[in-house]
Chain A
Amino acid sequence: MDDAEKLAKLFREHAPSVYRLCRSYLGPDEAEDAVQAVFLSMAANPQRLDGVANVQAYLIRSAANHCKNVLASARVARRAPMPAELEAPGGDAGLREAVSVVLALPDDLKDCAYLAFYEGHTSAEVGDILGLPASTVRSRLVRARTILQEELGGGQR
């Protein structure tokens, strides 16, 4: 398998996840750009991957940082917009609410919440991926959980 094939495989494997995270920070176009930037940065410096055991971790961390940088530069609209298909009349109201709650999460909680609640990682794993101490991740998840529970009405327990 040559390098290009390897990269293509990596892209197919991880792009949806990277995009999903980027899309929770940015609009659809900016998220696509962010995905490109993250993967191109990886492709341009393959030696960076040599010491990386978990490629997904590298990509997710890189994507989260990239999105925060983009937002910090204030060149794009602060809020990631709702997907157009959900805005349409007749869209699923419950889903729309859930999406708006996820999009409204504070920036520092989004990546933790995504990795823990969607990707199903433990807080220690989330800490490894994002390069944060597990205690920080836990406290962020507590905050994220509080917000999500409040906004989504207790999560149907």
Chain B
Amino acid sequence: MTDTRNMHNTPMEDPIELDAAIAERTKGAWDALSPDDEALARMEAAFMAAVADDAAAEQVPQSGDAAAKKRPAGRLWSFARWAARHKTQTAAAAALMLVLVAGGAVTSMQGGVNSATAPEGTLEATLQAPSNAYDAATESSDTNSGRVESGDVADTAREPESSTVDKSADTASKATVRESSAEPSVGDKLVYTASAHVVTTDYETARATLKEKAAAVKAKLESENESMPYGQEGARDSVRPTLMVTYRVPTESYETFLDSLSEVGTVVSRTSNADNISRTYSETDARVRSLQIQEESLEKMLKKAESIDDMLTIEDQLQDVRSQLEAAKNELSRMDTDIAYSKVTVTLADVTELPGDESDTSFLAQLGRAAAGALKGFVELLEGIVLFVVGTWPLWIVVAVVAVVLAVRKKRRNRDR
């Protein structure tokens, strides 16, 4: 026996005896991962309670599909506990079951969620209002048949080594599919963006108000760019303070925030845009699911692979699929963020004078504005000339000297004649 093992010592040695030292060193680590008595007792009590409920529920022995359709009630206890901790995972499932119950579809649930008897309209309604339905569902946890259904759905995702991969892809239910993204709605996926240009004569106050308004709607700062006059006196005349800031505003507060900008200063322009990304979203969602299925089947193949070559090839492919999956998931989560948080860019500029009120379009008012404008323009022109003259005084001295010299020479020439 020993001889046989020694023959295999290198390179593919059987490690069991040879690596006693490793075993010894890692033993403590595994021991540290053991459950404590309290956890064991808790798990056993939960398990036995579930088993006892099962026994009560399983008066008539069932097999195959029939058993799967009518899960023992005992599993529900454990599922409820699990569901309490993993709310998002069960949200869609719970919502689906609630609407099916409400819609009187309980009697036709035998074929599972994908049953052709579930009316199309009902299903759609479910998926459009799942989060509320979920809350209601978790609160009224004694809807027995409903819980059976959601238990089934969750199991579909949890059961190891069964044919559930295909099920979750095709038949298991849209609830399971939704579960993976924890995004309750298949309603339109809208991404809102807006920009606003705000002017003010009191920059500092306006800036503070803007920050206040953003904080009030729990907006997240994405970028900020501020230019301020700096250095010599009078710089403020040539460089006006401006602030360009981009916020991620929770979409439900999007309108509120845009409206509140009028309290920051005078909004001179505002654009808002809604982009429907439902199609891209559902395509990416489908890609994630298909990659997940690929990943699982590759994992299964990997387990069955007999040669190291096969294993390496499969591992390569698995790596590739996983990186694609990761990228698709990231894209999905970026879209989720875009949907949940609208992008609002605000430009705040300091001005000396606010744009006037031009809402009155009567002739007299326009005449008044024209006269005032002309006067203002004339005054500005005069100011400009004075400023120009003062600003170029050395030139005027030179001009004056040249003029005096020329005048003197002209005078002398006249006298000589």
What residues make up the interface of A, taking CB atoms closer than 8 Å to B?
3-4, 7-8, 11-12, 15-16, 19-20, 23-24, 28-29, 31-33, 35-41, 43-44, 47, 61-62, 64-66, 68-70, 72-75, 83, 86, 95, 98-99, 101-102, 108, 113-114, 116-118, 120-123, 130-133, 135-136, 138-139, 141-142, 145, 148-149, 152, 155-157
Contact = CB atoms under 8 A, between A and B. Distances in A.
A32 B82 CA distance: 10
A40 B299 CA distance: 24
A120 B19 CA distance: 10
Interface string B366-401: 000000000000000000000000000000000000
Contact of A4 (B48, B72, B295): B48
Interface residues of B, number: 64
Interface of B: 11-12, 14-16, 19, 21-30, 32-35, 39-40, 42-44, 46-48, 50-52, 54-55, 63, 67, 71-72, 74-75, 78, 82, 85-86, 88-89, 157-161, 180, 182, 292, 295-296, 299, 302-303, 305-308, 311, 329
B319 to A, nearest CB: 12
The DSSP consensus for interface residues of chain B is helix
B169 to A, nearest CB: 14
Given A33-B85, A62-B161, A98-B26, A83 B32 contact: yes
A44 B21 CA distance: 40
A84 to B, nearest CB: 11
Given A3-B55, A40-B78, 6 more contacts: A36-B43, A44-B54, A102-B26, A120-B16, A122-B14, A136-B306
B16 A4 contact: no
A114 B306 contact: no
Given A7-B51, A16-B35, A65 B28 contact: no
9 contacts: A8-B44, A15-B40, A15-B43, A32-B39, A32-B42, A40-B74, A72-B296, A114-B30, A117-B19
Given A36-B78, A62-B161, A136-B306, A155 B25 contact: yes
B71 A44 contact: yes
A135 B78 contact: no
